[in-house]
Structure 1
Amino acid sequence: MMAMTTDERPEPSTTAAERDMLEGFLDYHRETLLMKCAGLDDEQLRRAVLAPSGLTLMGLVRHLAEVERYWFREVMEGQELPDLYSTEQDRDGDFHVTDKDTWAQAHETWRAEVAEARKVSAVHGLDDVSVSRSRHAEGFSLRWILTHMIEEYARHNGHADLLREHIDGVTGE
């Protein structure tokens, strides 16, 4: 198997304060996702290679754009925003890519949502509680959201590892 050669991800500090540590790990995992997509063309990024799953690298990027939007803007700040890709008819529309969907569009949307998430995070303390509530009427602290986002990216980066290896044999963390 070929190994990934370019790794420009920001290494999370091993001694940082809690907030810097959480944001460092989240940024690391965000960049890991992009690294898994690097060097592939649109067709490869749309390719579902792990039957019967329809999961694709482009679908993962689109999904994580939705997740960034949801947790930081909708839950933390209470903004009422439409879904980026999902609809009433297709709740998993973020994962369902077509030949018309491009990496440029998915990447630009993801980058924009990450930028907005960073803005939201910057104006809140770790103990600040979200405007939106859970089904149990509990709020979510920014600390919880950052931790959840690390988990979300880490899980999906595992999926991205498998997809990338099946697409072109490239492996790496």
Structure 2
Amino acid sequence: MKYGIAIFPTKKLQDLANSFRKRYDAHYALIPPHVTLKTAFEIDENDMKSVTDELAAIAKDTTPIPLNIYKVSSFAPVNNVIYLKVDPTDELLSLHEKLHSGKGYFQDNREFSYVPHITIGQNLSDDEHSDVLGQLKMTNIEHEEVVDRFHLLYQLEDGMWTVYETFRFGKDC
């Protein structure tokens, strides 16, 4: 089964992202707006307890993370994904690194450099991508919040992602 690790922002930010996603993101119905921390990977059911224990330990040693959105950007020309740019704070980059340094399930499986973002458009033709990106870049987007948890997700047979377990940041959780 495929698993992933992500942060879900507040409803206010999800509503903003969804206002674009429902028009421009083919995966709109499969997962809520999120910041990916670790892309899809496999977990053997026999190892689930040790994986969740490790995630709990990582969460315990992580303080709440500021999530600052400050513009619309794109991964073009690599691919036609449009996203809300998330400020790569030290706290966010540190958490991402913890989830990619180690053995087993936490080894480095990254294909690309980490660019924290919330996808709002994908699978667009070149012309559509160019047109939509041009329009959205003129939108003034400034949002700040603090997140206090991340989620281990799993993918259902129909492609939808759902939460397996939530991990709150800090020693008191």
TM range (shorter): under 0.3
Q: TM-score, normalised by structure 1?
A: 0.25
- Larger relative strand fraction: 2
- Larger relative helix fraction: 1
Q: TM-score, normalised by structure 2?
A: 0.25
